[in-house]
Amino acid sequence: MYYIGICDDEPVFLDTIAEMARMILTDLSIDFHISVFNSAEELTEYLSLPDTSMDLLLLDILMDGQTGIELARELRCQNNSLPIIFITSTMDFALDGYKVEATGYIRKPVEYTELQEAIERTWRRQPNKLIVLNSPSHSVSFHQNDVLYLDIYDKELSVHLKDGESLRLSISLHSAISKLPQQQFVQCHRSYVVSLPAIISIWRYGIELKNHESIPLSKTYYATVQNALLNWASMG
């Protein structure tokens, strides 16, 4: 799940940016949750709550009350490294944004393609997230970038890692897919899911991985894998 916060004290801009972000994330097949805030104070209150999660903040600079720059400065003083993209009608605060390590700027009115590029870029740079899969009997955990592929045989799922280890548990492949970042993993066979960064090449009936292992690629999924691989490469 990719968590995005959007903060702008102008309702029209807030609604427009949120709707654009929903469309972008849906098109990218990224599971997401968007939280919207009308003021820096409202956002600060949310971030102070326990168990809150946010992977990207789209933050207006010029707001009534506390400005976006002031809020960003407070977050950095708290050692909060949350990626921030400023939404602004002026570039006069570029130096201030640099000081608070802003990920980028987007000018108002926001252009769809510019927002899309910013979200894709930030999503690709997010930390190597821990994924947890649960079955009735036990759980396994692993980091998303450590996975080569997953397969299922006789109702037992195996998660194959770069270091050669395989984690096993009794859940369906569909359940596992629902927990994986959809932009990084793609189903390539009725019994296999592959990590796109692990692929060296594909051919009509197979996929070669970076550890020189080969896994099957069915005709049904060939075009899906090819398109997913092209999209992944274009985001690099």
Displacement of CA 53 from its chain's centroid (Å): 13
Range among 26-30, 105-109, 191-195 with highest mean pLDDT value: 191-195
Rg (CA), the chain: 20
- Tens of pLDDT, residue by residue over 142-153, are 988 899 999 999
Query: Which residues, 6 or more positions from 115, have their beta carbon under 8 angstroms from its beta carbon?
Result: 17, 20, 21, 24, 106
- Tens of pLDDT, residue by residue over 77-95, are 888 888 999 988 776 766 6
pLDDT, mean of residues 45-71: 86
Domains of the chain (ranges plus CATH)? 2-124 (3.40.50.2300), 130-234 (2.40.50.1020)
Q: What pLDDT was estimated at residue 123?
A: 81
Whether residue 216 is preceded by a cis peptide bond, meaning omega within 30 degrees of 0, is no
State the pTM of this model.
0.59
Is the model's pLDDT at 235 over the cut of 80? Answer: no
